[in-house]
Amino acid sequence: MPATREILDVGCGDGLFFPALSQFGNVTGVESDTEIVDPAGEFFEQIHIGQFDDSYQPHKQFQWITMLDVIEHIPDATSALQLASALLTDDGKVLITVPAFNLLWTKHDDFNHHQTRYNKRLLKRQTTAAGLKIINMHYFYHWTFAAKLLVRLKESIVTAPPASAQVPATWVNKTCQTLCQIEQRFITPLRLPFGSSLFAIAVRS
């Protein structure tokens, strides 16, 4: 892929995905939460701090726009997708991930101010209204689906206020990473109709 590809990471935080994305082109980001962008951070100069709305004027088009676990936070997600569509080049793509299924709603969603969790129908409706056409869409994190259901069941029994997630032990992280790798290799190609997250690629319609 050409090194001149322009990539925009919407809701980029402090640039977590910049190292990976920079393998494919020139990366810039936009982030509305000033508290999570370090002025002394490695990628600070590449990040526009402000809302992703009509006030954002990058004066260029992008081949890739990533919206990774972003639009579920936005009350008017369709408008954000419309802006992404307007910022695409003619051959550009929007890469989207969102949490899936309101059935899996937990206090984690409340704590993170999610507006909703998605299914394919809702994401297709919003992208279509925004002038985009989905060319690839599938659920992933299949193995966490049951775990999220159990968390929801527990929360229906034990009442507690929403709280930030705790960093798990190293062995837990490594186990989860292994399970994700196994899923990606053997299960994701099956395109199962469930998962705790939803992935989509969209182009201008």
Tell me whether residue 16 is in a domain: no
Asked if pLDDT for residue 166 goes beyond 80, the answer is no
Tell me whether residue 54 is in a domain: no
Note the pLDDT of residue 163. Answer: 62
CA 10 vs CA 74, 157, 160, 190: distances in Å: 12, 37, 32, 29
Tell me whether residue 113 is in a domain: yes
Tell me whether residue 17 is in a domain: no
Note the pLDDT of residue 50. Answer: 97
What's the average model confidence in pLDDT over 161-180?
A: 73
Domain of residue 100 covers 61-204
pLDDT digits 0-9 by tens, 103-151: 999 999 999 999 999 999 999 999 999 999 999 999 999 999 999 999 9
Tell me whether residue 55 is in a domain: no
Note the pLDDT of residue 185. Answer: 83
Tell me whether residue 2 is in a domain: no
Asked if pLDDT for residue 173 goes beyond 70, the answer is yes
Asked if pLDDT for residue 3 goes beyond 60, the answer is no
SS3 123: helix
CATH number at 83 reads 3.40.50.150
Tell me whether residue 90 is in a domain: yes
- Calculate what percentage of the chain has a pLDDT beyond 70: 95
- Cβ contacts of residue 103 below 8 Å, gap of 6+? 149, 152
What's the average model confidence in pLDDT over 34-44?
A: 96
Note the pLDDT of residue 181. Answer: 84
Tell me whether residue 4 is in a domain: no
Closest listed residue to residue 27, CA positions, set 36, 40, 13: 13
Based on the structure, what is the number of domains in the chain? 1
Q: What are phi and psi of 139, to 5 degrees?
A: -80, 155
Tokens standing for 27?
């990366």
